[in-house]
Amino acid sequence: MSAELQDGPETDPRGASAAEQPRDETGNFIKMSATTESTDSTSTESQNNDDNNQSRQVATRVLGNEVNAVEDTLKMGEDQRAPVNAILPSGGMAGRVLIMGTLTEAELNTSAKGNDYYEAQVFAPDETVYVYAGQYQQDAFEALENLSAPAFVAIVGKISTYETDEGETRANIRPELITQVDADTRDNWVVEAANATFDRVEAYQNGEEDAPITPVYGSDHSAEPFAQAAIDALEGL
């Protein structure tokens, strides 16, 4: 079969130079403010549409304990649709993530504004992460409607953080897609995620990491515990 080959691709209508992405006056990065009622946030939808605006963000493999340890996210530019990256404590940043684990619970709730959303708990070694699917995560919402715990699931989504009333940071996942997978697929993911974690830790230890780890996690931060957690996860297989 032939796909839609064109005899000469369309010209870039923008001409020779692409539009400059606007930058902030005081520096490139703008800190994203914490949102409380995150499931109703409209910013998620535009972030899910980042494919339309720039090259797609790769899905970073992150283990559950690391997701929960994320303290902050960074908005990469001023544009409302600029991508938001989570700053990973193992060193590095993640725009989009791929997590696999065991769905242990999926609870249907109603937000203060009257919108339905699912609060799902997924055990991705070695901790349970929280996943929220509301009106802006339709595909994931429907998937949760059809899944029953316990089940192995794969989640493609983004890490989002918010501050509790006591000033603590909590991280959770805003899913784009949730699907069921089998045990082997999930186990193979643990290996991938462990290796990805080691890659990040190694880069961080070698000083190759230019994500703002220190401003967020402090100057005496060590990425080692995350490597250890990855080893533990592997040993659990």
**Interface with other proteins includes 2 (CB under 8 A)?**
yes
Nearer of residues 127 and 162 to other proteins, judged by Cβ: 127
Cα–Cα dist 140/122, whole Å: 13
Stretch in the footprint of other proteins (CB under 8 A) among 33-41, 101-109, 118-126, 226-234: 226-234
Q: Which residues in 62-121 contact other proteins (CB under 8 A)? A: 76-77, 83, 96, 98, 100
Least Å distance, CB 155 to other proteins, is 9
Nearer of residues 28 and 148 to other proteins, judged by Cβ: 28
From residue 66, give the alpha-carbon distance in Å to each of 144, 211, 226: 23, 16, 7
Least Å distance, CB 34 to other proteins, is 20
Q: Which residues in 113-172 contact other proteins (CB under 8 A)? A: 139, 142-143, 153-154, 156
Q: How many residues bind other proteins (CB under 8 A)?
A: 79
Cα–Cα dist 206/79, whole Å: 33
Q: Which of 155, 132, 137 is nearest to 60 (CA)?
A: 155
3-state helix, strand, coil in the chain (%, to 5): 30, 30, 40
Binding mask 16-45 for other proteins (x = CB under 8 A): xxx-xx-xxxxxx-----------------
Asked whether the beta carbons of 82 and 43 are under 8 A apart, the reply is no
One residue of 165, 166, 182, 220 binding other proteins per CB under 8 A: 182
With 0-12 CB in 10 A as exposed, 13-18 as middle and 19+ as buried, what is 3? exposed
Stretch in the footprint of other proteins (CB under 8 A) among 32-40, 110-118, 159-167, 174-182: 174-182
Which parts of the chain fold into alpha helices (H)?
A: 43-48, 64-69, 138-146, 183-205, 213-217, 224-235
Nearer of residues 20 and 220 to other proteins, judged by Cβ: 20
